[in-house]
Amino acid sequence: MRALLAACQRPLAAPSANASGSISPTSAAHVAASLGGRIPLILDDGPCTVGLESTIVAAAADGIRLLRPGPVDFADIVATARLPVLGQRAGIEAPGQMASHYAPSTPLRLNAVAARPGEWLIGYGSVVGDDTLSASGDPVEAAANLFAALHRADGSGSTGIAVAPVPQAGLGIAINDRLARAAAPR
């Protein structure tokens, strides 16, 4: 992106590189599949290494609110900002706050330890599936693999997708946020 900005010699602004509400892209192939020829050019610098979208916070003089959990832990942001944590507001203030977002076209079931008939199981840790977020239970690896695994599951022809439980701590908070929104009714 820095090379593109240097070549353009002007600021650029762009939306996410996928259809709104669908599974986030983590590779150029995902972008091409999602946008179906509606854009003239895709720059391919390889797959995303982090996998999850950014942490988004709202900071004000009286405190700080988490709008979207991401790779940077909110507790670390609070400690650095030294501001009190404010309660959530109603309504959508930032990307990724819709109840249904990041969603595959195939129904998604969470906290599964085994696949039901017709389901594609995405494992984690000791839960072995058709695919895995991280066989060792590493949340960093799981975050990097999340959306690519959802893309593979959605394209598998299965009638459902099941995802193993991911601990609700650290980066697992952001992973579970994306999974809950992906599983929410549309």
- Is 16:95 a contact under the CB 8 Å cutoff? yes
41 within 8 A of 35, measured Cβ to Cβ: no
Q: Look up the pTM and report it.
A: 0.87
Tokens of 81: 């900002």
The enclosing H or E element of 109 equals strand 108-109
Helix (H, G, I), strand (E, B), or coil: what is residue 171?
helix
Report angle CA 40, 41, 46 to the nearest 5 degrees: 155
Query: For 92-135, how does the pLDDT look when each residue is reduced to its tens digit (9 = 90+)?
Result: 888 788 888 888 999 999 999 999 999 999 999 999 999 999 99
Is residue 26 a contact partner of residue 51, using CB atoms and an 8 Å limit? Answer: yes
Structure tokens at 170: 């650290």
Query: Is the pLDDT reported for residue 13 higher than 90?
Result: no
